[in-house]
Amino acid sequence: MMTEKYININKIAEIKGLTSNRSLRLAIQKGKYIAREVKVFGGTSYEILYSSLEPEIQDRLDEEKLKTTSLVPILWILIWPMN
């Protein structure tokens, strides 16, 4: 059984270049995204289901994950002189 991946709305706001997550909260209320409410220090927040995000946002999240999980940055591989 494959588990669904949820992304914190603050991370999505950052990827979209938003200064706050307010518009994402409104979109959740209107049913644009599939989301779940999570308890955080001082209240509640939301996480949005990865598969309900726009494809371009999914791509940007995947690119960011690749950058942060690479042992050797990809750019180094491209510019490192080969012997």
For 1-39, what is each residue's pLDDT tens digit?
457 899 999 999 999 999 999 999 999 999 999 999 999
Per the structure block, which two tokens stand in for 61? 């999240």
Among all chains, which residue has been given the structure tokens 């220090």?
41
Among all chains, which residue has been given the structure tokens 């989301």?
35
Give yes or no for residue 51 having a pLDDT over 90: yes
Q: Confidence class of residue 63 from pLDDT cuts 50, 70 and 90?
A: confident
6-79 CATH, one of 1.10.10.10, 1.20.140.10, 3.30.565.10, 3.30.43.10? 1.10.10.10
pLDDT of residue 8: 95
Domain ranges of the chain: 6-79
pLDDT of residue 81: 58
Whole-model pTM: value is 0.74
Query: What CA–CA distance (Å, rounded) separates 67 from 48?
Result: 22
